[in-house]
Amino acid sequence: MRVSVTGCGYLGAVHAAAMAALGHDVVGVDIDREKVEALVGGVAPFYEPGLPELLRLGIESGRLRFSTDLTEVAGSTVHFVCVGTPQQESSNAADLTHLNAAFQALAGLVAEGDVVVGKSTVPVGTAAQLADDLSRRAPGTTVVWNPEFLREGLAVQDSLHPDRLVYGVPDGPAGEAATEVLDELYAPMLAVETPRMVMDYATAELVKVAANSFLATKISFINAMAELCEVAGGDVTQLADAIGMDERIGRKFLNAGLGFGGGCLPKDIRAFMARAEELHAQPAVSFLKEIDSINMRRRDRMVDLTVEALGGRPLAGARVAILGAAFKPESDDVRDSPALDVAEKLDARWAEVVVTDPRALENARRKAPHLKYAHSAEEAVNGADVVLLLTEWTAYRDLDPQTFGETMRHRRIIDGRNALDPKQWRAAGWAYRALGRP
């Protein structure tokens, strides 16, 4: 099939490459010339394992190309819209400026019978509004909402081997025809019995925000338990292991620590609250306010632990090494990164902060140019009074406590992700501290 992808950021670039890998003829379009030039050359403009190989495969096969000219989408049968929906600067609501602009531009280029597929995360009710507008401007076209469930660091796997496909379609023949089109598009996935669910627009929109809200709730729940463990003398990691054995609960996303960040969970739960308020259903999701609050408290608590590790002395003049700048491992994304936020909080209190990360240094420099940066963990901890592990990269998990930190002033470590073995580090002479553990 001939497919277009409007918006070649994180979601769009991965999705375009995945569609080409499935055998479709794909054109990806974005207004960012620098980004498009990189993609044309087979270079991913961000770090995502497996994406460079997938891009090169698509480009060399002739099935994948990129352009800054939106008119090149004309002639495609299926048009994916993958633009960002960030949080508004003035409120918790989602900013739909780019999404609305993309649909308006497509309206003059799509043809009767085409299917326009929204993949962006949006407030419930958005798809119906966009569909009504598009039907007036481009009669005979159909809007489908097909939410994405990508995990940064595993996006290629999640695109090629999703755990489910969700179609939000209109009632009647138009919805049935659009379903058939998507079934043809995703035929290789359906052939291996990937679950496929067809539903109305509103439910499809809610699937993504409800899933993210649940994950955020689970993470903040265990972090709330970590707060209790700290005052009661319990060990939140053992607590998580025990309750995670209950099959109704499960162990995934029960890793206490610095909390969640990135470009999805924080802004999605805030947008969910904002939309619920618009629909006069705010009490239904009022608990999300506390979920957000618990998450943000973890960052302040990390600063407090740093002060405690230094014996209560002022942070001014203390050299603090930060291991991790990305919001999660296997990513160079620093959007709402808890690690970088803690680094900036410490810097604001006059600590001498040195940040390192295997992949996110350049993005961190652009976002926080006032901080100091090091290219390796060994360089970062040279002369440090304390080291904070804030992004659980495998390289940091595998550090040898016997040899690491020999150039530090004091061998103190705060494990912000509960990623290390306390016994090993203490046996090696480290003063070890973690969130929610004795």
The catalytic residues are 264
**Rounded distance between C-alpha atoms, residue 347 and residue 241, angstroms:** 35
Amino acid at 334: V
Extract the runs of DSSP E, i.e. beta strands, from 48-164.
Answer: 64-67, 78-81, 115-118, 142-145
> Helix or strand or coil: residue 316?
coil
**For residue 408, which of 378, 434, 432, 433 has the smallest C-alpha distance?**
378
Please report which residue ranges of 245-337 form alpha helices under DSSP H.
265-278, 287-309
Cα–Cα distance measured from residue 116 to residue 79, given in angstroms and rounded to the nearest whole number = 5
Say how far apart CA 73 and CA 80 lie, in whole Å. Answer: 10
**What is the C-alpha to C-alpha distance for residues 59 and 70, in angstroms, rounded to an integer?**
19
Helix/strand/coil for 337: coil
Please, is 158 exposed, middle or buried when counting C-beta atoms within 10 Å of its C-beta (0-12, 13-18, 19+)? middle
DSSP lists the bridge partners of residue 373 as 355
Q: Which residue has the tokens 């002022």?
A: 314
Please give the radius of gyration of the chain, using alpha carbons only, rounded to the nearest integer: 23
